[in-house]
Amino acid sequence: MTIRFDGRVAIVTGAGNGLGRSHALGLAALGAKVVVNDLGSATNGSGSSSAIAQAVVDEIVGNGGEAIADGADVADEGQVAAMVARAMDKWGRVDILLNNAGILRDKTFSKMDMEDYHKVMGVHMTGTVVCCKAVWPIMREQNYGRILLTSSTSGLYGNFGQSNYAVAKAGMLGLMNVLHLEGAKNDIRVTMLAPSAVTRMTEGLLPQEAEALMRPEAITPGVLYLVSEDGPSRFILSASAGSFARILLHETRPAYFGDGERTPDAIAAHFNSVDPHKDVLFMENAFEQNKSLVGAAAEKHGFSVAF
């Protein structure tokens, strides 16, 4: 089966440059009608310009596709609502949302001021929530939706000097998990991308030989799979340079300590000997953790608990 997006309408935020531009072009090439959203700001979030979004639209239209430009600030609820309304007025539906807009204000935690924190959180985390909220009732009504959240290994694994960015990117994990559960009955699938590519935000930070491989176009095919009709939900895709991997959140099998054994030293000794690569459990939701931990305790006491 060949993945296509004929008849589908997609909104791509931050689509004037880099990854967003590549995703918008990729969707359009496979038949999607695309809202190319970009505020046109600098990498630190300052300024605005409509020119870059329109340039991508012109490229899509020049290749025979359909697209409109939009300059909404993703953190502004009114502007995002107007953007979604434009898509509905023109095409009557919204099937795909790619949350890609982002900025950087890198500083070590000791030097970062709260303005830098709030601005980065506003674009990445609040902006993602605002866009998801705007399309959510539409996707529920049509019983179809595909939402991609753009996270980062800076949030999932950590990166020096990016505490504000990391908080925003790690927060998307919680959002994905909940929207996956709440959207399932209406066939709304929510996934997350942890990409590494040469863009305006990473230019000059990577070795030249790596930059030659790390083009945004090497990541987009994975994104197109995630937001396709048969794509997965609650799936974290790590992607760079044409290489793809799945990121998983696991928990080790619990050990129960009785009243006489439950000391800090005993617990420390146990975890110092745990091999995290063996005997791990995948939790489908928060309730699964209760089943695992309370179940282990109940088993030690000679009974079972039915959750």
Task: Decide if 15 contacts 36 (C-beta within 8 A).
Answer: yes
Closest CA to 170 of 120, 221, 207: 120
Q: Which amino acid is at 137?
A: P
Q: Which amino acid is at 223?
A: V
Tell me the sheet residues that pair with 195: 239
For 202, the 3-state DSSP assignment is coil
26 sits in the region (left: phi over 0; alpha: psi -120 to 50; else beta) called alpha
Closest CA to 58 of 66, 48, 50, 46: 66
First to last CA, the chain: 41
Q: Is the dihedral of CA 33, 92, 35, 215 positive or negative?
A: negative
286: its two tokens: 């928060």
Annotated catalytic residues are: 165
What single string gives the DSSP state of each residue in 191-238? Answer: EEEEE---STTTTTSS-HHHHTT--GGGTHHHHHHHTSTT--SS-EEE
Q: How far apart are CA 69 and CA 90, in angstroms?
A: 12
Enter the DSSP assignment of 107: B
67: its two tokens: 């697209």
Question: Which residue intervals of the chain are DSSP H helices?
Answer: 18-29, 51-62, 77-91, 114-121, 127-142, 153-156, 163-183, 208-211, 220-226, 264-273, 286-300
